[in-house]
Amino acid sequence: MKDCNAQGESSEALHKRRVRYTGKYPRHFQEKYKELNPDKYADTVAHVREKGSTPAGMHIPILVPEILKILKIQPGEQGMDATLGYGGHTEAMLEQLQQQGHIYATDVDPIESEKTRLRLEKKGYGADILSVRQMNFAEVDALAAEVGLFDFILADLGVSSMQIDNPQRGFSYKSDGPLDLRMNPARGVSAAMRLQEMRSDAIEAMLRENADEPFAHEISRQIAAEQARGVVINTTGKLHAAVEKALQAVVPAAECWEAVRKSSARTFQALRIDVNHEYEVLYDFLSKLPGVLAPGGRVVILTFHSGEDRLVKKAFKEFYREGLYQAIARDVIRPSAEECSRNSRAHSTKLRWAVRS
C-alpha cells in the first residue's frame, strides 16, 4: 500500500502552478505562460501576432517568400541553415524539399537549438531530412568536408527573439537581468566580465566600430567612471543606467528619453558583437562560402546593421570579380511595409544573395 504522503508529494511534483502576476496582463517574460505554450494556447499567440508583436519564447521569420524565391529549392537537394534559431526559415525550406533531400542546421545556442529540433521533429522533420548541429557557422568548411557541397545556404544574422526577450540571457536593456550576451552561455566570457577588462578608450572604439554610436565617448567615460568607483556593471539595468547618466549631461531633456533608448540598444549590440566575436565569425564564413557551395548553389544572407551588411557586400563583390559567383544582388532587398507592420523586428533587415559559378 502506497504511503499517502508519498502519493501527495508525487502529485505535487507533477502539477506545477503557473507563475502568478499582478494586473490584468502579464508583463514579464516568465509570466507569459500562454505565449510560452503556443501549442496549448494558439489563440493567444495568434492575437499577439495580429498586433504586430512577437509572442514570448517565439521568433517570427523574416522575408520568407523572398528567400524561397531566390533559393529555388528543389526536392532532393542538400542545404544548410547556418543560424537555426526558432526554425521558422528552416521549416519553410524543409517544406520545399517535400521529404526528399536534407538540411543541416547549425546554431551555437545549446538551449534554443534543442528546443527547435524537438519542435520540428514533432512536425515530421526527423533525422532523415534534418540534422541539427551545435556548432558555429564559421565551421561550414568542416561540415561540407563531412557531408558534401550545398545546393543552398541561408544565414540569418539577427538575434532570435527568444534570446532578446528572455531577461536571463541579458540581450536587452528592457528587462533587468544578468549582463551576459553570450550566444552560448557555457563558453567565453560574459559581457559583464568583458567590460571589466576594458579601458575607456577600448570601450569607445568598440561602440564606434560595432554600432556607430554617436555618444561613444560620453558612454565609455561614464562606464569607466562607474567602474573606477567600484561599481560592477553586471546587470542589464546597470548598463542602461550608465548610458542614461552619460546622455543626460549632453542631450536636451526633451530628447533624452528617445536618445537613451537608441543608445542603449546600440550599446548592447556593440557588446554582443564583441563578446561573440561576430565580425570575425562572419568574415570566416563569407571567405569559405564559395568552397562549400555546389556549382549553381545559392546563398542568402540577412543582416541587421551596417557593419554586417558592409562585410557581406564586400565579400560578394570580390568573389564575383574573381569569377567564383556568377551573379550577386546589386541592391539589398528589404521587408515590405506590410511585413514590418506585422513584425516590428523586421524594420532593419537587409537581404543579399549570390549564386556560385
Whether residue 108 is found in the same domain as residue 37: no
Q: How many helices (H) and strands (E) does the chain have?
A: 15, 7
Pairing of strands 78-81, 130-133: unpaired
| Boundary residue ending a domain (275, 295, 310) | 275
- How many domains are there within the chain? 3
- Residue 227 reports pLDDT greater than 80: yes
Whether residue 264 is found in the same domain as residue 285: no
Number of Cβ within a 10 Å radius of residue 64: 15
Mean of pLDDT values over 239-249: 95
Whether 89 and 67 have beta carbons less than 8 Å apart is answered as yes
Q: Taken in order 193, 196, 197, 200, is the CA torsion positive or negative? A: positive
Whether residue 77 is found in the same domain as residue 133: yes
Quote the CA–CA distance of 5 and 102 in Å, as a whole number: 51
**Domain-embedded: residue 4:** no
Sheet holding 102-106, edge to edge: 130-133, 102-106, 78-81, 150-156, 293-303, 350-356, 325-328
**Domain-embedded: residue 111:** yes
Q: The pTM is what?
A: 0.81
Whether residue 70 is found in the same domain as residue 138: yes
Whether residue 151 is found in the same domain as residue 201: no
- Residue 31 reports pLDDT greater than 60: no
Which CATH number characterizes residue 126's domain? 3.40.50.150
- Residue 51 reports pLDDT greater than 60: no
Which of 28-32, 87-91, 148-152 is most confident? 148-152
- Residue 330 reports pLDDT greater than 90: yes
pLDDT of residue 12: 41
**Domain-embedded: residue 28:** yes
**Domain-embedded: residue 59:** no
The pair phi, psi for residue 99, each rounded to 5°, is: 65, 20
For residue 213, the enclosing domain spans 184-275
Whether residue 155 is found in the same domain as residue 69: yes
Whether residue 268 is found in the same domain as residue 137: no
Whether residue 78 is found in the same domain as residue 226: no
**Domain-embedded: residue 77:** yes
Mean of pLDDT values over 189-214: 95
Whether residue 227 is found in the same domain as residue 211: yes
Number of Cβ within a 10 Å radius of residue 77: 21
Whether residue 74 is found in the same domain as residue 209: no
Burial 78-103, CB ≥16 within 10 A → b, else e? bbbbbbbbbbbbbbbbbebbeeebbb
| Boundary residue ending a domain (233, 250, 275) | 275
Mean of pLDDT values over 186-190: 90
**Domain-embedded: residue 198:** yes
pLDDT class of 32 with cuts at 50, 70, 90: very low
Number of Cβ within a 10 Å radius of residue 233: 19
- Residue 74 reports pLDDT greater than 80: yes
| Boundary residue ending a domain (240, 275, 310) | 275
Which CATH number characterizes residue 271's domain? 1.10.150
Mean of pLDDT values over 209-232: 95
> Model confidence over 119-144: pLDDT tens digits?
999 999 999 999 999 999 999 999 99
The pair phi, psi for residue 24, each rounded to 5°, is: -80, -35
Which residue is it, cell 511585413?
Answer: 339
pLDDT class of 2 with cuts at 50, 70, 90: very low
Whether residue 267 is found in the same domain as residue 301: no
**Domain-embedded: residue 43:** yes
Calculate what percentage of the chain has a pLDDT beyond 70.
81
Whether residue 117 is found in the same domain as residue 189: no
**Domain-embedded: residue 172:** no
For the chain, the straight-line distance linking the first and the last C-alpha, in angstroms and rounded, comes to 74
Longest dimension (CA), the chain: 80
Which amino acid is it at 244? E
pLDDT of residue 223: 97
pLDDT of residue 159: 75
